[in-house]
């Protein structure tokens, strides 16, 4: 899996930030699922910051909203 890091397009900030933080959050949270959740949340936020709203697929937007709610409501994490 670490070999795929070289395939990241490091010139696109909307890809770099979620990818880097996903990679960092996996060992920090001791959970691959939490690392991926950070990526699902941060990718649409990076696109929103660049005012590229139309590129956000509705499913990704739903995942961005539902994941934090799931963690707060169901898992009881803050």
The domain spans of the chain are 10-73
pLDDT (tens place) for every residue of the chain, 78 residues total: 678 888 888 888 888 888 899 999 999 988 888 888 888 888 888 888 888 888 888 887 787 777 777 777 776 665
**Per-residue burial over 7-34, b = 16 or more CB atoms within 10 Å of its CB, e = otherwise:** eeeeeeebeebbbebbbebbeeeeeeeb
- Whether the model clears a pTM of 0.85, i.e. scores above it, the answer is no
């Amino acid at each position: 899996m670490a070999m795929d890091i070289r395939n990241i397009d490091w010139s696109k900030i909307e890809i770099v930030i979620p990818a880097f933080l996903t990679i960092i959050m996996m060992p920090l949270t001791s959970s691959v699922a939490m690392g991926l959740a950070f990526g699902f949340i941060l990718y649409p936020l990076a696109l929103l910051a660049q005012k590229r709203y139309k590129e956000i697929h509705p499913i990704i937007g739903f995942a961005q909203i539902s994941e934090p709610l799931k963690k707060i409501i169901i898992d009881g994490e803050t």
